[in-house]
Structures are given as structure tokens and as C-alpha cells.
Amino acid sequence: MRTEIATLGEFGLIRHLTENIKLRNDSSRYGIGDDAAVLSYPSEKQILVTTDLLMEGVHFDLIYVPLKHLGYKSAIVNFSDIYAMNGTPKQITVSLGISKRFSVEDMEELYAGIRLACEDYNVDIIGGDTTSSLTGLTISVTCIGEADKDKIVYRNGAKETDLICVTGDLGAAYMGLQLLEREKAVLKGDKGIQPDFSGKEYLLERQLKPEARRDIIRKLAEAGIQPTSMMDISDGLSSELLHICTQSKTGCRVYEEHIPIDYQTAVMAEEFNMNLTTCALNGGEDYELLFTVPITDHDKISEMEGIKLIGHITKPELGYALITRDGQEFELKAQGWNPLKEEK
């Protein structure tokens, strides 16, 4: 069954998608239903705000991305930005640009994913907007979070001798994307053939259903560790590390042998004849955390599951260096995804 969006209209669609949403957070005083939402935060907290714009054909391809997964991911990438500031996401607004090829049922699927993410991470949907689009689907999510004033972590706080840490493993989301793109090219719209993804489920999950590292933020707090700088890895490890170094006015040394990579990622890179380290450094969309801590936290960090030490911060004049497995030194360059880069 297909219900045309025009049968509900803009306000009817919003009402249909957001009915029965219950507010969970004390800071959410009033949500959907008026000209603006009402929030109230205690004075000892500071408010964090981040926003993300996802465009069909640029950030996602609906040939292989299910709408429910897309909704989930569009919320998660914003939660991840709040955690990367050592904060806690509390509310989101969701705005949609929708073309006529989408039905009410399509938007229900998208919203089911958004609502699932919000339930899992205890975040309230407090507003948004919908409008017609001539270019496919556009999703804009704004996330509001909170943090104690003395606990917020910025990109510019890394100091010489600080340890560089990453969570989880890197490159899997990028390899998942390569796998999906390959199958799309092979099948070329032949719906009679089903791709075989057995043994590659982890790569697909990392691309289609990423998670924000709330668990690591909690672990660090419990261990009494406050990072000196932090980012989430959306555009690739190299790119994010250079952001930290540039804003902190430092250099860095990263060791290839310590970069965490999953077995499935390694197998897939070999299958595609791609350099594994390049995929891990520049792939992006891992939504892992990259952070620095004082060297005095070495013993605590070394014992924490899910965190890997990959290098250290240096004086700015030493530059940005990748030390290979055989001891060679290369300049670390940002080759991550740049949506505004001109095609050659």
C-alpha cells in the first residue's frame, strides 16, 4: 500500500510521524506542537549544539541504504558529535526535504529509525520541519546536548607528550561502502539477483548502522580520565588528527602497527587490492573517538578495553608523521572525504 504525502499535507505528515512521542529528559519542557520547543537546563551545565545535513546522492544512496537504517544513522552521527565534546545528547530536531517519489510509508520507515536511535540513547525529538524537494531526499538533524562546564573537551587542548588514543577499529565503514558500491555496479538494477554478503556482516553494519561511543565516555569518566582534546572520526583518522594538531598548535607521531583494524576489513581490502593502512587512515564514517590524554594516564588507558594507543603529540616543528611497520617516516596527510572538493 502506498499513501501519497499530499493526502496528509505538511502538518498532517508531521503530526502522523511524531504522534505518541513522549519526552524523557527533564530539560525537555515542551516538544512538538507549538511554534518552538521549550528547554530548561540547570545553570551548572553548558549547552552543546551540533547539526548535520545529509543529501541523497551525496551522503547516501537509497539503492542499498534502507530508510530505517538511514534514519538511525542520521541521528547517531549527531549524537556522536556531542559525545566527542564529552557531553550527553538530550534533544534533536529533524527537518526533511521530500520529493514526490516518497510515500507516507517511506517516511514512517525513516522515522522508525530516528525514533529507535532516540530510544536507545535516551534523546527527545522536540521539533522539525518538512518541505517538498525537487532533488530527492534531504535530512537535516540538529542535536542539543549538555555537559558540565569543567568537563567539555575541545579540539585545541592537546599538549606535547600527550598520548593519542582511538576507540574500536578503523576502516570497516569505508570497506562496507566499497562492498555495497561494488554489488550495486554488478547487479545494475537486476532485482532478481541477491548479493551474497555472508562473512561481511560487520562491514555492512559499520556502514549502515553505526553507533556512537557513549560507552567510552562513561568509561573515561569512571576512571577519572579527562581527555585534553577529542573528536569523532567522521572524515578519516588522518583528517581528524590534523584538525586536533592544527587547533592545538602541535605535531604528532602515529605508529602504523598500532592502528586498530578488524580482520574483515583486512580481508576486504586485500580483495579490493587496496592499501589497508590508507583505508584505516582516510576511510571515514567510523564514528569512533579520537582523543589525547596526558602521559600520566598511560597505565589507566592501557588497561581499558576498546581503546588503543596509536601515538603521541609532539612539538609543532616536528610536523605530522606516520611511522610505518618497517620504521620509515612519512608525512601524515588529510585525504579524507571532502564533499566540496572539485572533481579533477
- pLDDT tens per residue, range 273-303: 999 999 999 999 999 999 999 999 999 999 9
Q: Is 237 helix (H, G, I), strand (E, B) or coil?
A: helix
CA distance 292 to 309: 9
pLDDT tens digits, one per residue of 199-217: 899 999 999 999 999 999 9
* DSSP code at position 306: T
Tell whether the model's pLDDT for residue 247 goes beyond 90.
yes
Please give the full DSSP string across 139-176, using - where no structure is assigned.
EEEEEEEEEETTT---STT--TTPEEEEES-SSHHHHH
CA distance 135 to 133: 6
pLDDT tens digits, one per residue of 323-341: 999 999 999 988 755 554 5
CA distances from 148 to 14, 101, 153, 167, 217 (A): 34, 45, 10, 23, 13
Tell whether the model's pLDDT for residue 182 goes beyond 50.
yes
- For residues 174-185, average pLDDT: 92
Tell whether the model's pLDDT for residue 344 goes beyond 50.
no
- Phi first, then psi: give them for residue 143, nearest 5 degrees: -115, 135
* DSSP code at position 4: B
- For residues 149-167, average pLDDT: 98
pLDDT tens digits, one per residue of 93-142: 999 999 999 999 999 999 999 999 999 999 999 999 999 998 899 999 99
pLDDT at 19 (0 to 100) = 86
pLDDT at 10 (0 to 100) = 78
Tell whether the model's pLDDT for residue 187 goes beyond 70.
yes
pLDDT at 196 (0 to 100) = 74
pLDDT at 193 (0 to 100) = 65
* DSSP code at position 84: T
CA distance 321 to 291: 17
pTM score, two decimals?
A: 0.94
Spell out the domains of the chain, with CATH numbers in brackets.
5-148 (3.30.1330.10), 163-331 (3.90.650.10)
Q: What is the mean pLDDT of the chain?
A: 93
342: confidence class by pLDDT, cuts 50, 70, 90: low
Q: Where are the beta strands (DSSP E) in 5-137?
A: 28-30, 38-39, 45-55, 88-98, 124-132
Q: Cβ distance 72 to 112 under 8 Å?
A: no
